[in-house]
Amino acid sequence: KAGVTQTPRYLIKTRGQQVTLSCSPISGHRSVSWYQQTPGQGLQFLFEYFSETQRNKGNFPGRFSGRQFSNSRSEMNVSTLELGDSALYLCASSTDRVDNSPLHFGNGTRLTVT
C-alpha cells in the first residue's frame, strides 16, 4: 500500500508570492491534516479535512488555506508569503474509523521563502 505522497519535496519562493502544496493520502483514508514544522515553533497543527470539509483548524492566519477533493487528495495554499513561512509542511492521513486512529505522515514539502 502506497504511503502518503506530498509534492513537491522542495520549493523556493519569494516574499509576497503564493504557493500550493499537494498531498495524496493513503488509499481509503478520508481524513487529511496538515502540520507546519519549524525549529522555533516545532510541529503545529494547521487544519484537517474530512469528506471535502474543513473539520478542524489551528491557530494560523487566513493566508493559510486548504481544500480537499472528492478523491480525498488535499491541497494547501499559502498566500502573500512571509519569511517566517519557511518550514517543513507535513501532510498526514488517517482512516478516522476509530477515535485513536494514528496519523500517517508523508515526507513533507520543505518551503523556503527568500
Partner 1 sequence: AQKVTQAQTEISVVEKEDVTLDCVYETRDTTYYLFWYKQPPSGELVFLIRRNSFDEQNEISGRYSWNFQKSTSSFNFTITASQVVDSAVYFCALRKAGTASKLTFGTGTRLQVTL
For residue 16, the minimal CB distance to partner 1 (Å) is 27
For residue 101, the minimal CB distance to partner 1 (Å) is 8
62: left (phi over 0), alpha (psi -120 to 50) or beta: alpha
For residue 7, the minimal CB distance to partner 1 (Å) is 14
Cis peptide before 8 (omega within 30 of 0): yes
Instruction: Name the residues that contact partner 1, by CB under 8 A.
Output: 3-4, 31, 33, 35, 42-45, 48, 50, 55-56, 58, 88, 90, 92, 94, 96, 99-100, 102-108, 110
**Residue labelled with grid coordinates 493520502:** 25
Amino acid identity at 75? E
Identify any residues that bridge with 74 across adjacent strands, giving them in sequence order.
Answer: 23, 68
Which of 81/106 has CB closer to partner 1? Answer: 106
